[in-house]
Amino acid sequence: MALGHVNEKTGLCLELLQKELYLPLLEGMSAIDTFRLVTGKDPLYCPFCKKGHMRYVPSTGPAKMEPG
């Protein structure tokens, strides 16, 4: 999009998508909460057990590999 016509093009995009503008509603929300609100799906829902939620477990760093 050309910067000179950004408001015009944004309006046209939203008309074509037939979506509301979510920006003020989404301001300050985390990415996961935004995804839940926009899609209606929970990205942390466990696809295997269908009961629980997945958690982020930080890694301890890159794995060390020995040659040979």
Helices (H), the chain: 6-17, 23-26, 31-39
In the chain, where the domains are located? 1-59
Report residue 20's pLDDT band, with 50, 70 and 90 as the boundaries.
Answer: low
Q: Is the pLDDT of residue 22 over 70?
A: no
Q: Is the pLDDT of residue 23 over 70?
A: no
Between CA 38 and CA 66 the distance in angstroms is 45
Each residue's pLDDT tens digit, 38-55: 888 888 888 888 788 878
Each residue's pLDDT tens digit, 5-15: 788 888 887 77
Mean pLDDT of 11-40: 78
